[in-house]
Structure 1
């Protein structure tokens, strides 16, 4: 026994002596010989042996970051080279660029000068955001400054433990400041990035409230009809392609006769106008169609990727972005905008003997988006459900064998776009109302539509009833495919998180909740640089950022009265930060484009963030400014979104129900007439009864006051025996977690 103890002691002493000289990373030669390495460069052993090269391999963890940075640098160099080559073959810049190359100037310097000269001219810059006036540049910078200055989350470096006690650290990239890059080494070097701090130039025009629209929109109103027609022609040609935009010459026969596609109107120019509005302001986030193939078949009259049903559904959506009388079923009633096109779409849908057609699935998605905007959530849910069910029945979630033929590639692209549009819309509605999605959890999904360079670099400009800015105040690359692909990836994470919350037979655990949160953070950290707000600020990009924060807010909102044991991540703080981020993004969107033209789900985002602001204000943690701004934003959106009116009613009811100290003006323009009949006194007026009671023909999913056992609880502390979960709308689902499962799941009540 004594000898064994001595032997153990000698072994332990050897181990203790060896720990002090272990190097974290040995050179390649020492690792081959299994010899000690002192970590020097070169190390002592390699120095003593002649002809031996001392090489250190980069550790795997470091190599991934190094490779990512290297790939980004190569992409930048490739773009710079392509830019210089394009300038060399041009007629106006070839000599200038050639002289710069002969003088030994670097690609970075040459492309910077090209960008600077492009920003001072009125021509488009390919894949670069361009400005014709420095005042536009600076005004846009001012509009985006609130979003770009959003602070990082304080929970970014906090760790949590799972049930086994193993600590996990959240990614350090949690909600980075807007415009910040994941790799500092490439920041401000990308030629696609806008130069936010010009060295010289006049001060911005403070009179332009909306820099992309306000300046030229005001001028357009005083111009002749000819000028407006020219503006529309330019805008339609930019958004829809060169075969379109014929309105500038009304005497010429219109090439796109719409008699094949709709019998609601014979005005081909109006049809093109509404299509341009849709593709400008709504496309591509929930797009279930492939724009290029749809427009080609629309132009040629081909029924393969275009149909009368699809065209009428698309026009019904486009009507929301117009104030023209011709876009209304009743010219004197703005609330009937698009109703005639939608009625025609319903008629065509009812006459279809077989709905297993790609264009029908696409049309159902567009009709669902339109009904969501109008506030008819029950109808929108039904149409969205029909779209995803038909997509599954047709096997669109499965990849088909792709041959080398062009036709096969087109078929795959359209099938993929159709499935992912239906899938993303189903996730958005499931997230909003709190339910499991229609698609199973672990099924392998079809590949996403490929990114095509010429589609990515196609220009985006703000287009309205008056056309588009003739002076081209700002032209951006649309990045349509990148936005769509990245948005679909976010929808996949939403899909997984819904099963985390609503799977029957299981309890939600803090570990699963934080794992879902980490997936969101990783997605945000890995989005392409071109979709960050230092590079691009199209409505689709802003919408994707809003949706990200919306998803995180709804992930944590049920647990807003709880703490996560062993973690510094506070559901209440995360919800507050997500709500503030949404408000900030909406503010930037408003300053850029106004809120008269926003994608369909934006009022849902504002409602959800405003409810979080009510909770924060009710607990006396912050002032009323953000809530007041949310109410003002919804009022501005009532002109194009019927749901914005209902959202105001819901906020009014919750403010009264939770006794939150804030003034809510009932007589402002845009507030529903029924809402003004309630007055004060606890909100027991007629408006509350009309708003809150479900109907036999429509189960409204946003119903805060239903006379049942499961009534809305307050925003304060949890009363003994009360349900600890916070869920404002009783008719919606809720995570499967009760009071007895709190401790098991890793939660506890907020003190």
Structure 2
């Protein structure tokens, strides 16, 4: 609503009219003001007037709902469409400069320096830069038919940068290997899992494509979630790793959407699936890359249910997995860069985070079961004793944090999350 101040009081007109005075011309408003709409009266304006003729004569506040002015909305939508097209052209320009060979990039840069318009730059890119130089992980597109390859690749990269390192239940290399192979329902990737990841990744992006409805700010990621939900109905009884991981991602996604009750339901599915999977797939006699990925998934599902249970004050944490645990290792072959920003890589510290997170989860599970497992409110003296025990264990946990995760040495965002 845009209120328009009432016209100032008019002074009394003289009793005569000038011979050549012209009557002010009235024109119909493109949308009626609130007062004219309420009384179903004709809403007309004098040229240059700030209020309609009827409200001016009655000294009323002339207020309009600009959202109902279809001409203004159409012009606004056309402007947004034009800006989005220009933005996409600029993104294509940046992507082309990043991915092209040095020779092609220099040719494009020379054209930019001639101050060529954006339309000419786009024409040059479309006709002179070969498609292979612009493609990025196209096989991912087989898992989602609602978006472009570039958007899918961008969202996967965002998720791997900002979500994955904390809940690292998905082995990055094995997931990308199976995703790029383009085989649905493989051991470490599935259409369901990919769409779950895309739905959560939308909350790391402000691109217009991450909204199911670009006029609805509440629709971020909804189109990917709807696809994931549809796919879940086809795998509901499946107990494979991608299904467990996907439901875990959906719990986080539902929390971001403010749908805690739906998220809690998905967390229940995670628990049931994880227990069934563990019973069916005991630890192998010899460790492998694949078994390491399974172990990491089960440990981080344990961390997820422990964190959710203590946060939502419900008792749903799973038992501590009977799986190998891996010591902290300062790997130099696993760098982290805050995509899409390009700065010097730093150590990811993912194994360190996993171990410290697991130790914290054990404290959370203990506190949760002491207070909530019985379903009854514990007596005050028991609560006090539990609180003191939890405080002692938390202090001990903090003192045993590896140097790379202490507050003074924080370099990666997940260490801040632990703090």
Say whether the fold is shared (TM-score over 0.5). yes
1:492 to 330, 338, 362: 362
Cα contact 1:462–1:468 (8 A) shared by 2: yes
Match of residue 448, structure 1, among 314, 319, 325:
325
- Aligned twin of 2:338: 462
Distance 2:368 2:209 in 1: 42
Matches within 5 A, 1:367-446: 367-395=250-278, 400-403=283-286, 408-440=287-319, 445-446=322-323
Aligned to 2:372: 502
Equivalent positions of 1:608-647 (< 5 A) are none
Equivalent position SS for 2:138:
coil
Q: 1:340 to 1:332 in 2, by over 3 A?
A: same
Structure 2 counterparts to residues 187-586 of structure 1, below 5 A: 225=91, 228-229=94-95, 251-252=131-132, 253-265=135-147, 267-302=148-183, 303-352=186-235, 354-395=237-278, 400-403=283-286, 408-440=287-319, 445-448=322-325, 454=331, 457-463=333-339, 467-469=340-342, 472=343, 474-504=344-374, 507=379, 508-545=382-419
**What's the C-alpha RMSD, in Å, of the aligned pairs?**
2.8
Closer/same/farther in 2, CA of residues 394 and 468 from structure 1, 3 Å limit: same
**Aligned runs of 1:145-160 on 2, under 5 Å?**
none
Task: Indicate how the Cα distance of structure 1 residues 225 and 286 shifts in structure 2: closer, same or farther if over 3 A, else same.
Answer: closer
Cα 1:281–1:231 shift into 2, 3 Å: farther
How far residue 518 of structure 1 moved from its aligned partner, in angstroms, is 1.2
Would you tell me which structure has more helix in proportion to its own residues?
2
Structure scoring higher RCO (CA < 8 A, sep ≥ 6) equals: 1
Shift of 1:409: 1.2
Which stretches in structure 1 are left out of the alignment for 5+ residues? 1-220, 235-248, 546-751
Confirm or deny: 8 A CA contact 2:199 2:221 kept in the other structure: yes
Cα pair 2:139 2:179 within 8 Å, conserved: no
Q: Which runs of 4+ in 1 moved over 6 A?
A: 230-234
Alignment check: 8 A CA contact 2:371 2:383 kept: no
Tell me the TM-score normalized by structure 1.
0.37
CA pair 361-530 structure 1, distance change in 2 beyond 3 A: same
Indicate how the Cα distance of structure 1 residues 309 and 275 shifts in structure 2: closer, same or farther if over 3 A, else same.
Answer: same
- SS of the aligned residue for 2:318 comes to coil
* Residues 373/273 of structure 1: CA separation in 2 closer, same or farther (3 Å cut): same
| Residues paired across the two proteins, number | 296
Distance 2:213 2:284 in 1: 49
Residue 123 of structure 2 is matched in structure 1 by none
How far apart, CA to CA, are the structure 1 residues paired with 2:98 and 2:202? 16
Cα distance in structure 2, aligned partners of 1:539 and 1:396: 35
- Residue 168 of structure 2 aligns to a residue whose secondary structure is coil
Using the size of structure 2 for normalisation, the TM-score is: 0.64
CA contact (8 A) 2:247 2:266 kept: yes
* Structure 2: tracts of 5 or more residues without a match: 1-86, 101-128
Cα distance between partner residues in 2 of 1:418 and 1:372: 20
SS at match of 2:146: coil
